[in-house]
Amino acid sequence: MPFIVARSLLSSEFLVVRSDSFSPPFSSALLLELVSSITYFVFIVLPYRIIVDPAEPLRRLVLGRTLLSCSIFFFGVTLFIALKYPGSLRDRTWIQVREIVGGLLMMFCLCGGMFF
């Protein structure tokens, strides 16, 4: 049975928690998806569109290309996490399915933000 061991930074105490009973909170999962989606789309879509079409207005570039594709990806993955919660954060099978769905959605949204 797997365990999670955490050490306190202020003392030499260790905290041992069974990983079967440990489930990441829903808000932490959403925050992680938000940070990763902003990172991917701001550092991939935005520079690509600036290089390809430097005459495009910045407002249209940020709102129309980057933010729209970023929000579609974020809400798609959030919908999957919400529908399969807590299994999507705890069960290994659903975690793999979530990553496959996220990868396909990422490919679709990156291509949409860069090329259309």
pLDDT at res. 92? 87
Neighbours of 76 (CB within 10 A): 19
CA distance to 13, 14, 16, 98, per residue, from 9 (Å): 9, 10, 15, 33
pLDDT at res. 97? 93
Q: Do the beta carbons of residue 61 and residue 49 sit within 8 Å? A: yes
Measured in whole angstroms, the distance separating CA 90 from the mean position of its chain's CA atoms is 16
pLDDT at res. 41? 93
pLDDT at res. 3? 53
Q: Which tokens is 13 given? A: 């105490």
Neighbours of 33 (CB within 10 A): 20
pLDDT at res. 7? 54
pTM listed for this prediction: 0.76
If the chain, 116 residues long, is cut into consecutive pieces of 10 residues, what is the mean pLDDT of each piece?
A: 54 58 77 92 93 91 90 96 88 91 94 91
CA distance to 3, 14, 47, 81, per residue, from 99 (Å): 23, 32, 25, 11
